[in-house]
Amino acid sequence: MSSPDLDVRHIARLARIALREEEVSTFQGQLSRVLEHIEHLKKLDVSAVEPTAHTYPVFNVTRDDLPKASLTRDSVLSLAPRAANNLVVVPKVVE
């Protein structure tokens, strides 16, 4: 059984992952079974429950806004797949 709501091809595009045809159908089946499994969460009445985003109440952690040492330009650029003239090279994005 496949979940009618899950369109793997569409969601994969949103996630910027290209998929081959056979991957679309495999993932569709596997993820539909996972979604069926998690359906049981709908049994619970959570209307009066606050969500938990973090397990420990820490809020608004700030630091002094002071300059300090960071990675060097060369060490960062040496990791880029393509770099030239102290810049990362990417495909043209503006026509």
Partner 1 sequence: MDLTRLTLSEIQAGYRAKSFSPSDILRALEARIRTVEPTIQAFLSRDFEAALRRAEEADVSLPLGGIPIGIKDVINVYGDPCTCASKILQGYIAPYDATVIALLKTAGAIPFGRLNMDEFAMGSSTENSAYQITRNPWDISRIPGGSSGGSAAAVAACEVPAALGSDTGGSIRQPAALCGCVGLKPSYGRVSRYGLVAFASSLDQIGTFARSTRDCALLLNIIAGSDPMDSTSLDQSKEDFTAQLGRDLKGVRMGIPKEYFVEGMDVRVKATIEAAIQQCAEHGAELVEISLPHTEYAVSVYYIIATAEASANLARFDGIRYGYRADQPKDLSDLYLRTREDGFGNEVKRRVILGTYVLSSGYYDAYYLRAQKVRTLIRRDFSAAFENVDVIVCPTSPDLAFPIGERTDDPLKMYLADIFTIAANLAGICGISVPCGFALEGDHKLPVGLQFLGKSLDEARLLGIADAYERVSGWSKEHAPI
- What is the total count of residues that contact partner 1 (CB under 8 A)? 48
DSSP string, the chain: ---TT--HHHHHHHTT----HHHHHHHHHHHHHHHHHHGGGGGS--TT----S-SS----------------HHHHHTTSSSEETTEE-------
Is residue 31 within 8 Å of residue 6, measured between CB atoms? yes
Which residue of 21, 42, 65, 66 would you call a contact of partner 1, by CB under 8 A?
42
Regarding 76 and contact with partner 1 (CB under 8 A), the answer is yes
Which residue of 67, 79, 84, 86 would you call a contact of partner 1, by CB under 8 A?
79
Shortest approach of partner 1 to residue 2 CB, angstroms? 13
Regarding 69 and contact with partner 1 (CB under 8 A), the answer is no
Interface ranges with partner 1 (CB under 8 A)? 5-6, 8, 11-19, 23, 27, 30-31, 33-34, 37-38, 40-42, 44, 46, 49-56, 58, 61, 63, 71, 75-76, 79-82, 88, 90-93
